[in-house]
Chains A and B, each alone.
Chain A
Amino acid sequence: MRHADLHDLPFEEGGSLLVKRALRQAQDGEPVRVTGTAADLEILLRAWCRAEGHAFESRDPATMVLTKGPAAAQRWSGAERAGEAASPGGVSERPPRRWGLAARGALVEAGTPEFGFALVDKEEVWSEATGRLYAQAAANQWDPASAIPWDAAVNLPDEIEDAVVQVMTYLIENETAALLVPSRFLAQLHPHFREVMQVLAVQAADEARHIEVFTRRALLNRPRPGLSTAGGQASLKTLIDEPDFAIASFLLSVLGEGTFLSLLWFLARFAPDPVTEAVCRMAAQDEARHVAFGMAHLREHAAQDAGLLGRLEMAVRRRHRELQHTAGLNAEVFDALLLIAAGSWEHEGLRLGHDRVTRLVAEMHEGRTMRLSRLGFEAAKAAELAGLHTRNFM
């Protein structure tokens, strides 16, 4: 007969683990002898067995015989594995909602409530690159307190400072959209797609950090940020309102953040002060990953779903129509970019600034065209759709 000897260890102070171990090793209906000298062992063990469905018999106050009941086996009789732990082989094409929050590969008890996850199709969200992108993102997290030279002297002429503040104000509201869009889908995603969930979570955390550093730069020498325009917010609202993951991801990450990459590198290059340079450079590094994830899962999605590119095209056209009567990028932001690129009020400087901004806009267009081609659009279509992108950049 199996035997659990508790010696003088009280049942409630760890002795129960010895009893449970012996019962785990026993078959249903198999007796297990329990001995021990702690006070009240018999009383506690009797009560515990009754609650757990094991038969209890007391030979004397220090020797008891338990007979294992069927409850433990019954409890796990209908359980199922939530896929397999390993990626990508263990990732299910369509994980059932009843797997809920369980770790991938965990044994899930039958009767677990169904969760209302809307995104349950691997095809729609998954990319083989996700795990790598998450690892990269986790490794490249940076601390705003130490990564930005906040103590550097920033003594710009008033109007240049105002231009920086206006650009920061614009960046903050754009990054807020970039935080909210993945967060909304994060809450709808089946956690079985763990790596996707992690990538979206880090993406949101990245944007939180960007909002922090842009805000801090905006308020460095001014008591409040600059202007927020109706046209800019109208453009961002179309992203927030987009209910489809693939389309939202396409508009935000591929087209919007892709365009922002050019903008942030531009700002880093022509920044009038080291703080502006650093906040834009650090943000650009993160944005590159967001673009990479958007590209990766949409390319794989498009490879499996022949209709996807058509839907993406329609989304670009629809958004263009919605926004064509709005102002797009506000004049203040455009002028601020020009002034920052010029670096001065000299006529030659302003001409140079204008050239640089014009080249930036062209470069943004080329970047979008290239990404659209890589998603599978043929060259002319890619160029046409790139041209329909919002004038707000994001």
Chain B
Amino acid sequence: MQELILGAVAYDPKVVTIWDGFKDYFLEQGLPFDYVLFTNYERQVAALFDGLIHVAWNSPLAWLETERMAGLRGRHAEAIVMRDSDRDLTSVILTLASGPVKAVEDLRGKRVAVGASDSPQATLIPLQVLARQGLVPGRDFEVLGFDRFAGKHGDHIGGERDAVRALLTGAADAACVIDSNVLAFGQEGTLPAGKAVSLLATPPYDHCNFSVLDGEPTAWIEAFRTLLLNMSYADPKVRPLFELEGLKQWLVGRTEGYRLLAEAVDRDGYLDKRIEGISR
């Protein structure tokens, strides 16, 4: 083993720029480092268990897959570091301001547009929150999925954009998006100001983290964690990397923010089925 190897999912071409930049930075700081890109999170999780990578830059769903698989295999997974922007996200269910849906109950019999089928923010969590309120997807309302780039866990913005467009064209009565995309879609013009309002906001939840398994090269992982936590937005070499990756500061990982997603993916054995897929 020559260096610490990190896995990341290539949900966008910029991922290469990001990790080439981080690689240069880590090497400059004396950490032997390389990275491998995956087309989907499931292959990345499998690679972590196969020892092909030491750290996985995981989506929240990939973290739950990792944690669950570790439990099944008698291992221990840890979320070591996350972005400040990975904490306390919310998703919203948007409806047309001028439309008939004014309350969650009004969604009965209606069409709810969601993002990718494996997107925590645009599908799994909002549908779970509706389920908590007694509206079971597929039974009480129709789910219109915009399944862009399966396996990327909704990292690509396209599915949510399609969901919002469906709302605006009348193909859907509601659309599920992450709060930051409400801002983004407003700025890019997809969502004209005042056109849509949120019917419901989910409780806050957390997003990505760097996941590791016990038994991996401890000293390097410790060095990696320390380097991350010491990176400062004030450093002009770091700032462009932070801006690409969307953070102002790395924070110590925490896992309590994944409870809502865990509840969602355990609702109908969804997570277990995915893990079977990975293990095969």
Contacts and interface: CB of A to CB of B under 8 A. Distances in A.
Interface of A: 10, 12-13, 39-40, 42-44, 46-48, 50-53, 56, 69-71, 74-75, 77-78, 109-111
Interface stretch (B53-61, B126-134, B145-153, B232-240): B232-240
A31 to B, nearest CB: 17
B248 A52 contact: yes
Interface string B160-188: 00000000000000000011101100110
B255 interface: no
27 contacts: A10-B193, A10-B194, A12-B186, A12-B193, A13-B194, A39-B198, A40-B197, A43-B90, A43-B198, A44-B183, A47-B178, A47-B180, A48-B183, A50-B87, A50-B180, A51-B85, A51-B183, A52-B248, A53-B84, A53-B233, A70-B233, A71-B249, A74-B232, A78-B236, A111-B236, A111-B237, A111-B240
A100 B277 CA distance: 53
Nearest to B198: A40
B201 A43 contact: yes
B89 interface: yes
A115 to B, nearest CB: 16
Nearest to B84: A53
Contacts of A48: 183
Most buried by A among B87, B90, B97, B240: B90
Nearest to B238: A111
Interface string B212-247: 000000000000000000001110110110000010
Nearest to A10: B193
Interface in B182-212: 182-183, 186-187, 193-194, 197-198, 201
B234 A77 contact: yes
B179 A47 contact: yes
A60 to B, nearest CB: 14
Q: Which 5 A-B pairs have the closest CB atoms?
A: A111-B236, A53-B248, A74-B234, A47-B179, A110-B236
Contacts of B240: 111
A51 B184 CA distance: 11
A12 B189 CA distance: 11
A53 B249 contact: yes
Task: Classify chain B's interface size.
Answer: 20 to 34
A52 B249 CA distance: 10
Nearest to A71: B248
Contacts of B237: 111
A78 B237 CA distance: 11
Most buried by B among A10, A40, A56: A40
Nearest to B240: A111
B266 interface: no
Given A47-B179, A47-B180, A77-B234, A111 B92 contact: no
B92 to A, nearest CB: 6
Contacts of B187: 12
Contact of B182 (A43, A71, A111): A43
Interface in B54-90: 84-85, 87-90
Given A44-B179, A53-B233, A75-B233, 7 more contacts: A12-B183, A39-B198, A51-B183, A51-B246, A74-B234, A109-B236, A111-B236
Contact of B179 (A12, A43, A78): A43
A114 to B, nearest CB: 12
A51 B237 CA distance: 19
Contacts of B87: 50
Contacts of A40: 92, 182, 197-198
Contacts of A42: 201
